Amino acid sequence: MLRCREVVELLATDGWRTAPLTRRVALGLHLMMCRHCRAYRRALRRMGAATRTLYRTVTADARQVERLLAAVRRMSTR
């Protein structure tokens, strides 16, 4: 049986992605039974989704894009 502390480690490091199948199954079972670890996973997911929304508002304006592309063109035809 996985401990909660190990679940947190697996989730927060992305270690679960490369963990052996038995460990991933143990993780799934633990999450089914432990509401605190489910809440923790939910928190991570929501933070990720919200950060995506936040960062996707960072974009270049048209003038910046044109200036950067002009620099690329100058360099690539040199």
Partner 1 sequence: MTTPREPPERCDAIRRRDPAALEAAARENIGPLLRGARAAGLSGGDAYDAVQEALLVFVEKADRYDGRASVRTWLFGILFNKIAERRRAVAREEPVDDIDAVVDARFDARGQWIKPPRAPDAELAAGQAMKMLEECLDQLPERRRAAFVLREVEQLDVDEVCNVLDVSRNNLGVLLFRARNALRECLESKGIEGSADVAL
Closer by beta carbon to partner 1, 25 or else 32: 32
Number of C-beta neighbours around residue 52 at 10 A: 9
CB of 77 to partner 1, least distance (A): 5
- Report the alpha-carbon distance of residue 11 to residue 27 in Å, rounded: 9
What sign does the dihedral 51-53-56-57 (CA atoms) show?
A: negative
CB of 25 to partner 1, least distance (A): 18
CB of 14 to partner 1, least distance (A): 6
Closer by beta carbon to partner 1, 22 or else 76: 76
